[in-house]
Amino acid sequence: MPRVFVYGTLRAGEVNDLNHAAARHGIAAPALVGTGTIAGRLYDFGTYPGLVLDAGAGDVIGDIYDIPDALLPVLDEIEEVYPGQATLFVRETRAVTCNGALVDCLLYPVADAAVAGLQRIDGGDWVAYRHARQSSARTPA
Does residue 95 lie in a domain region? yes
What domain range includes position 40? 3-136
pLDDT at 138: 66
Per the domain annotation, does 117 fall within a domain? yes
pLDDT digits (tens, 9 = 90+) for 86-115: 899 999 999 999 999 999 999 999 999 999
Asked if pLDDT for residue 85 goes beyond 60, the answer is yes
Say how far apart CA 65 and CA 15 lie, in whole Å: 17
| Pairing label, strands 3-6, 59-66 | antiparallel
Q: Is 37 part of a structural domain of the chain?
A: yes
Residue 137 has pLDDT above 80, yes or no: no
Q: Do the domain assignments include residue 34?
A: yes
pTM for this model (two decimals): 0.93
pLDDT at 136 over 90: no
Q: What is the CATH number of the domain that holds 38?
A: 3.10.490.10
Q: What is the pLDDT of residue 139?
A: 59
The answer as to whether 141 is a domain residue is no
Q: In the prediction, which pLDDT does 141 show?
A: 53
CB-CB contact of 97 with 32 (8 Å): no
The CB density around residue 32, as the number of other CB atoms within 10 Å, is 13
User: Which is nearest to 41 in space by CA: 136, 131, 130, 126?
Assistant: 126
Q: What is the pLDDT of residues 11-69, one digit of tens each?
A: 999 999 999 999 999 999 999 999 999 999 999 999 999 999 999 999 999 999 999 99
| Count: domains in the chain | 1
Report if residue 54 sits inside a domain: yes
